[in-house]
């Protein structure tokens, strides 16, 4: 049963890595959209918002790197631990709980950031139908 539990934790760790890869890719896409916006003729009133989003995207990259490091440390713990004593099992249990929580928070925060950016673009890049044709 212990081996099954360890495999389950490894599958969960792999899922976290896939999720972080997806978020990283989406963050790159958002930065590209921001870059596209900067190449366009835009109002100087948007500069503050653009700067805020740029900083948020950089912070997101930093958070992803931190979470990837946490997962790598967790993977090392899973590989070396055989659960010979309760202390080891407790350490894995507390780490997995912390990682689940941190990943969940990061996923929610990124969703909010992405939505806020799309709203920012929609609200500030309104074009009349005449301009679109």
Per-residue pLDDT at 128: 39
In the predicted structure, residue 79 carries a pLDDT above the cut 50: yes
What rounded mean pLDDT belongs to the chain? Answer: 87
Check whether 82 has a pLDDT greater than 60.
no
CA dist list (Å): 58 to 28, 62, 86: 10, 6, 40
Q: Give residue 3's pLDDT band: very low, low, confident or very high (50, 70, 90).
A: confident
pLDDT tens per residue, range 34-53: 999 888 877 888 899 999 99
pLDDT (tens digit per residue) in 95-126:
999 999 999 999 999 999 999 999 999 988 76
Q: Which residue has the tokens 């740029």?
A: 54
* Radius of gyration from C-alpha coordinates of the chain: 21
83's torsion region: left (phi>0), alpha (psi -120 to 50) or beta?
Answer: left
């Amino acid at each position: 049963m212990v081996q099954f539990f360890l495999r389950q934790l490894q599958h969960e760790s792999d899922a976290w890595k896939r999720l972080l890869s997806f978020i990283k890719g989406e963050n790159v896409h958002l930065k590209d959209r921001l870059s596209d916006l900067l190449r366009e003729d835009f109002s100087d009133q948007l500069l503050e918002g653009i700067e805020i989003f740029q900083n948020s995207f950089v912070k997101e990259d930093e958070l992803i790197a931190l979470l990837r490091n946490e997962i790598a440390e967790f993977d090392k713990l899973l590989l070396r631990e055989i659960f010979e004593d309760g202390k080891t099992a407790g350490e894995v249990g507390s780490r997995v709980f912390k990682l689940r929580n941190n990943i969940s928070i990061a996923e929610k925060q990124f969703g909010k950031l992405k939505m806020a950016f799309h709203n920012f673009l929609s609200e500030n890049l309104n074009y009349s139908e005449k301009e679109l044709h």
